[in-house]
Amino acid sequence: MKLNRGLLITAALSVTCLFAKTVVDYDHKANFAKYHTYSWISVDAQDPLWKDRISSAIDAQLTAKGWQKVPSGGDAGVAAVGSTHTEQQLDTFYGGGFGGGWYHRGWWGAGPGFAETTVNNVPIGTLHVDIFDGKTKQVIWQAQMSDALSGKPDKNEKELEKTVADSFKKFPPAGRD
């Protein structure tokens, strides 16, 4: 019985790791009002098709915020790194026995219950974006996004655009006084 509870807890934790995650941070001393242009430093992705998709998604957000892309020498520099890895997802199904629910000594009913756990490998995409001050070369803003990928590139591209848009929702941060 303790094994079943342990598997259930492990499965619940692994599933929560598969939901989209976005972490945004920035230099609280930076005056974002002084940045109007940006240049790309680099875009790195394991799949060459995704380099353009990543830069297009970020360009769309920065343009919407009033920033203008210049070939070089921008007020800010942007770098993005995309990667994928595989995480394990545990799914546990309970069955058997009679009735349902907990009793102080285990399952209700006379028959023994069973648990079956399957392990699924789920591809996870991660994107890390850094924005640097063009003069000092110091990081002024960064975001790290990760989400489960599907087997459909079009769906993954739409998720990329949505996730990047979510990370830029509060961009630029309120300027300092």
Segment 97-156, tens digit of pLDDT:
555 555 545 555 444 567 788 877 776 888 999 999 999 999 999 999 988 878 888 898
- List, in sequence order, the alpha helices (H) in the chain: 2-16, 48-64, 153-167
Q: Between 48-64 and 153-167, two packed helices, what is the crossing angle to 10 degrees?
A: 30
Q: Is residue 174 part of a domain?
A: no
Q: Is residue 177 part of a domain?
A: no
In whole angstroms, what is the distance from residue 69 CA to residue 13 CA? 41
Model pTM score: 0.71
Q: Is residue 37 part of a domain?
A: yes
- Output the six-digit token pair for 105: 């000594």
Give how many domains the chain has, as a whole number: 1
Helix (H, G, I), strand (E, B) or coil at 153: helix
139: domain CATH number is: 3.30.160
Sorting pLDDT into bands at 50, 70 and 90, what band is 176?
low
Q: Is residue 31 part of a domain?
A: yes
Q: Give the residue numbers spanning the domain of 24.
A: 2-167
Q: Is residue 89 part of a domain?
A: yes
Confidence (pLDDT) at 113: 61
Q: Is residue 176 part of a domain?
A: no
